Amino acid sequence: MESTSKAVSKFSDVDEYGFKRNEQFDYKSYELFMSSYLKTLAKRRIKWERVLQENIDLTTITAKLKRYIRKGIPGPYRPNVWMKISGAYKLQQRSPGLYNSLLKETNHEKEISDSISIDLPRTFPDNIFFDSKKERLYNILVAYAHHNREVGYCQGLNYIAGLLLLVTDDEEKSFWLLKHMIENITPQYHTKNMANLLRDMAVFKELIIRRIPAVNKHIEKLGLPYAVIASKWFICIFAEVLPAETVFRLWDCVFSEGYKIIFRAALNMFLTHKTAILACDDIGALANFFRETLIHDDIVTNCHTFLQSMFNLRLKRNELEGLRKICVGRNNT
């Protein structure tokens, strides 16, 4: 039975990217958010049209361009802008035939191909557009797995590549953007030993200890490991975690500013939900809060306000780099 909020909402139970909204979706809050956000999007598009007409070099991130990116890249412009600001376009230009040559290889490892095939039906089953894209997703993942033998294929890559394909609708661009994300943004997150993921989980825990010690004390008291809470956030760069529009707004910034955005977003999720986290009185309630409530609520759905609060955080790259040196080899998070 439809909820009252859905019955009176002008919004579909499917979002603009094809994802079905869950039963607890707050249509009333979303309608309030979108009443102002749609106007913001229209203004952003006009400004971005001017930027692109001026033929500005998007490979150089000026203060003005950084400000524009933080406020959101319009959907139709994302594929080409992401390619330029990330450096993926330059990589593609250096090896223009790489993707097609990888697809033409006949010695694809059966174990890798089978693993990808098993994961395809599990990738965004709640998206009404994705069935028609699964063959193309398979191509991207099998090409990348055989290009980067150290990573190969692991779960999580399907969600990142799947969202890239939804945005770009282009296999080759998705391949190059995936390559950039895995090798430059999250290197050694997806290898067998996941060395840098374990290190960055320890870094994230240290950030919580420094910024909101009461929350860390509460989490430790209840006994929920940080790896259980946040490893998927980092492995998937929030794909299959946060609402699609919020993920894409984050990725706008990830492609221009790098890995620090992942820490900013994760830290902001804790800070904006501090009271609710402290209100969880047992490990089951806490796990359920992180697994279900936090990732769907109006705080993260209102991507504009979420990013504004995220960029109000004081977080310097040298702090993260210093913590990374301290946390190398830790795996007790």
CA-to-CA distance for 85 and 73, rounded, in angstroms? 11
| Across 141-170, average pLDDT | 97
Enter the pTM of the model: 0.94
Angle formed by the axes of helices 134-147 and 157-168, nearest 10°: 120
10: number of Cβ within 10 Å? 7
What is the chain's alpha carbon radius of gyration, rounded to the nearest angstrom? 20
pLDDT band at 4 (very low <50, low <70, confident <90, very high): very low
Percent of the chain with pLDDT over 90: 90
Positions of CATH 1.10.472.80 in the chain: 195-328
Token pair 């019955």 is found at 7
CB 204 within 8 A of CB 315: no
- The residue among 288, 88, 98 whose CA lies nearest residue 177 is 88
153: number of Cβ within 10 Å? 22
- 7, pLDDT greater than 80: no
| Lowest-confidence segment of 8-12, 22-26, 100-104 by average pLDDT | 8-12
- 2, pLDDT greater than 60: no
CA-to-CA distance for 240 and 47, rounded, in angstroms? 30
Largest Cα–Cα separation, the chain: 56
| Across 193-206, average pLDDT | 96
CA-to-CA distance for 94 and 8, rounded, in angstroms? 53
pLDDT band at 330 (very low <50, low <70, confident <90, very high): confident
Q: H helices of the chain, where? A: 4-7, 27-53, 63-70, 78-86, 88-94, 98-104, 110-119, 134-147, 157-168, 171-180, 195-211, 213-222, 226-235, 244-257, 260-272, 274-279, 283-288, 298-301, 303-311, 317-327
Half-sphere exposure of 313 (CA within 13 A, CB side): 28
Q: Over the stretch 89-142, which tens digit does the pLDDT of each residue have?
A: 999 999 999 999 999 987 889 999 999 999 999 999 999 999 999 999 999 999
CB 262 within 8 A of CB 189: no
CA-to-CA distance for 43 and 293, rounded, in angstroms? 32
Positions of CATH 1.10.8.270 in the chain: 75-185
Q: How far out from the chain centre does Cα 278 lie? A: 26
State residue 108's pLDDT score: 86
Q: Over the stretch 208-237, which tens digit does the pLDDT of each residue have?
A: 999 999 999 999 999 999 999 999 999 999
State residue 8's pLDDT score: 54
- 155, pLDDT greater than 60: yes
Q: Which two tokens stand for residue 21?
A: 């909204």
State residue 1's pLDDT score: 40
Q: Which CATH class is domain 75-185?
A: mainly alpha
- 80, pLDDT greater than 90: yes
29: number of Cβ within 10 Å? 15
CATH number of 195-328: 1.10.472.80
